[in-house]
Amino acid sequence: MSTAVRHPLPGDASRATSDVRLSVEQVSYAYAPNPSQAPLFTLEALSFQAKPGEVVAILGPNASGKSTLLQLIAGSLLPLSGRIFLNGFETHTLPVKTRAQRIALVQQESRLLFPSRAWEFVMQGRHPYHPGLRFESDEDIAIANNALAQVGASHLADRWMDKVSGGEKQRIILARALAQQPLLLLLDEPTLHLDIGAQVDLLESLRRLAAQNRYTVVVVTHELNLAGEYADQVVLLQRGKCLRVGTPASVLQREILEQVFQAPLSVEMTASGRPRVTLFSNK
């Protein structure tokens, strides 16, 4: 286990006492291939906060800045202005190992050059906890086994990563993220190549894991209904602008969705008070 000393930063006291874990404060970003040109893409200043155990969904059409926002939160991009705090620490200033102990990122696809077994892959999640060259301890093995069990993939442990189905692979990748024992779990379109059943399974697990392990989960997705059903908060983006932040019921409303997605649709409330979106053809 890491015993890294957490140095307090100015303004930490107020943040530490509140139960906010992730705080995105007036964060903006601009991408330009070279500094003298006008930026090709900008993300306008936006703010939101999330508590432990909360699931935040980032929604929006293609090229709205969803993945950029996720990279900013992950600390791998530097914001143009504003700050992102995780438990009071700015994410991009954390040393790379410390950051990997607190933030786990599940990317759209995980390519492997040479096949490895599922358990070897999950074991990679223990890397941030070891300095330099090391051999896995019994504790690492227990944590990796537990991570596989939590996503219901214990039976896959000895399978090769290139011989499992898309849904199984996604669960193993999630298990690796759990093995990092993060505070913040970020997922970039985790449901992309999954069938509907596997999508529901995955979001169901995320919800349960967030509640059990007190993770804060931020998930980028195109699936309005999955976000409506499983998220506590929704951030709606369009062309680099944050249109709305709030509960699914307050964000997923017909007028704004029709404007964002340029398609006629209807929104109804389910018995559990969750919005359900149905899209119609344009013609």
Partner 1 sequence: MRPLTLTRLLLRCAILAAILFGVVLLALKLGAVQVSLYGLGKDLVSVLLRHTNALSSDYGMIVLDIRLPRILLGIVVGASLSVAGTSFQALLRNPLADPYVLGVSSGAALGAILALIVESHMSLSPEMAGLITPVGAFIGAALTISAVYLLGLRDGEIDSTTLLLGGIITVSFLNAIIMFLMTTLSGSNLRGMAFWLMGDLSTPQPRSLLYFLCLGFIIASGAIYTTASDLNLLLAGEKEAMHLGVDVPRVRIVVYLAASVLTGLAVSVSGAIGYIGLLVPHVMRLIFGSDHRMLLPASALGGAIAIVIADTLARTVTAPTDLPVGAMTAAAGAPLFLYLLRRRIA
**Site of interaction with partner 1 (CB under 8 A):** 74, 76, 96-97, 99-101, 103-105, 107, 110-116, 119-120, 123-125, 127-128, 130, 132-136, 140-141, 144-145, 157-158, 180
Lookup: tokens for 52:
């432990």
Nearer to partner 1, 141 or 263 (CB): 141
Nearer to partner 1, 106 or 252 (CB): 106
CB of 133 to partner 1, least distance (A): 6
CB of 113 to partner 1, least distance (A): 4
Nearer to partner 1, 123 or 260 (CB): 123
Tokens 């999954």 locate to 194
CB of 127 to partner 1, least distance (A): 5
Nearer to partner 1, 109 or 204 (CB): 109
DSSP string, 147-186: HHHHTT-GGGTTSBGGGS-HHHHHHHHHHHHHHT--SEEE
Give 232: exposed, middle or buried? Use CB within 10 Å, 0-12, 13-18, 19+: middle
Nearer to partner 1, 138 or 255 (CB): 138
Residue 43 to residue 184: CA distance in whole angstroms: 22
CB of 105 to partner 1, least distance (A): 5
CB of 39 to partner 1, least distance (A): 17
CA 117 to chain centre: 25
Supply angle C-alpha 275, 281, 283, rounded to 5.
145
